[in-house]
Every structure is written in C-alpha cells, then in structure tokens.
Amino acid sequence: MKARICVSVSGTSLTQLVGRVEQAERVGADIIEVRLDSLRGRHDLSKLSRAADPPLIATNRPQSEKGSYAGSEGERLKVLEAAVDAGFEYADLESTTETLGKVASALCERGAKVILSQHDYSRTPSQASLKTTLLRLRKHEPDICKIVSTAQFPRDNLTILDFLDHNHASSSMVCFAMGKAGLWSRVLAPFYGSSFTYASLGPGLETAPGQPTLDTLRRIYESLDLE
C-alpha cells in the first residue's frame, strides 16, 4: 500500500499560504492541511481552494489547543465555515468545541467532511482511555476520528499503534503520537490503519511537535520499499 501524506502548512498572510499550498501540491502531498489560525485579517479563502487540486483541510486551532487563534469562539468557527463555503473539503473540529454536536452538524450541512480531533499534549493514555475517547467522538458521527497523543517514551509508539490497529476497522481514523519520541508512530500509522499521516513542507515549517518533513517520510518509505 502507498501511505497517504497530509502536508500541513501555516502562514500569516494569504499570499504566503497560497504559495505554500501550491508548493505542497508540487512536492506530492495527497492532502493539504491549511492552518488558518496564524492568518491575520479577513481574506477570500477561495484563493486557497483554487491554488491546488488535492483536498484541503481547514484547521483553525485556538490557543487553548496549542494553536494561534486568539479571537472569540464564535469568530473562530465562522472562519471554518467560510473555508468550507470557499471549497475546502474537510474541517478539523476540536472535541473541546462548545456546542460540539451543533457545530459539527452545521459544517456537515455546508458540505464539509468533519475531522473530529482530540489531542493530548502531555502524554499517551492507556488503551482503555483511548477507546473511551474514540467512543465519545463516534457519537457525533464524524467522517474521521482523529486521536493524537504525545509520546514521552518509545513504548508509547506501540501503545498508540496497537490501539489504531484494533479500532480502525470500525471507524475512519487518524492516530499517532506527537513529540520527538513519537516519530515512528507518525511513520507507521498508515500501515496500522490511519487514513493518512502528517508532514511539514520542510525544516522549520512544522505545525506540530515531532512532525517530520515530507521528504523525510518519502525517503523512509522508499528505504523500506513501501512507496
């Protein structure tokens, strides 16, 4: 199988974001996550959806979820709605979102595929705890359940990958561990059932801890004869 890679891009200006979306397509991204939380001001987001053919994920991460968006919750969600209206195929919605079910339904009605995401920024919970999280996310019937932990130790890679292996058949999932120690979970996630894994455009352009570059992932897969 060929691992699907989502390249995550961020920028403070629309011009910068458009350029990075175009670059992500040129280097072979299967999906492109556009981090809108660093974007300053209001913009015509259709310029982003027209910049590349791969599906786009709109993400507007609040500061409470280690993102950059500092505005109100209502304004944050309006940005996601505007992105969907502009042609983004996916919307990443945090599980901590206020009135989660209502917001998820509204995005679906606009035509978005919803990625319902849960991030643990300090540790990798037990498999029982991860399963409880998955069941909670499933209640909202998202298109993809995204469960991301943080690896403190190498064994955390085994925990998250085993959890993914045993649960992906009943739900479309994206699952791995962040942090330097979690690199191998990012590399191997697609082969354990993750719909895709994430990469950056290049060094210094990471949007999450431990995120490898697309080039690094491709070289690892080629060396393992997985491309």
149-162 confidence digits (pLDDT tens): 999 999 999 999 99
Measured at the CA of 183, the angle between CA 185 and CA 142, to 5 degrees, comes to 45
Tens-digit pLDDT profile for residues 34-56 = 999 999 888 899 999 999 999 99
Catalytic residue among 2, 43, 78, 119: 119
Coil vs helix vs strand at 67: coil
CB 48 within 8 Å of CB 18: yes
Beta-carbon contacts of 6 under 8 Å, excluding residues fewer than 6 positions away, are 29, 30, 31, 32, 33, 57, 196, 197, 198, 199
Burial of 2 per CB tally in 10 Å (0-12, 13-18, 19+)? exposed
- Strands of the sheet containing 173-178, edge to edge, are 173-178, 144-150, 113-119, 90-94, 56-59, 31-35, 5-10, 197-199
Q: What is the CA radius of gyration of the chain?
A: 16
Residue 227 has a pLDDT of 66
Whether the full predicted model's pTM is greater than 0.75, yes or no, is yes
Residue 31 has a pLDDT of 98
What value does the mean pLDDT take over residues 174-178? 98
| CA atoms within a 13 Å half-sphere pointing along the CA-CB vector of 119 | 17
198: how many CB neighbours lie within 10 A of its CB? 27
Q: How far apart (Å, rounded) are the C-alpha atoms in residues 44 and 221?
A: 37
| pLDDT above 70: percentage of residues in the chain | 100
66 as an active site residue: the answer is: no
The domains found in the chain, sorted by start residue, are 5-223 (3.20.20.70)
Q: Quick check: 91 pLDDT over 90?
A: yes
Residue 134 has a pLDDT of 97
119 as an active site residue: the answer is: yes
Residue 224 has a pLDDT of 83
Catalytic residue among 66, 78, 139, 146: 146
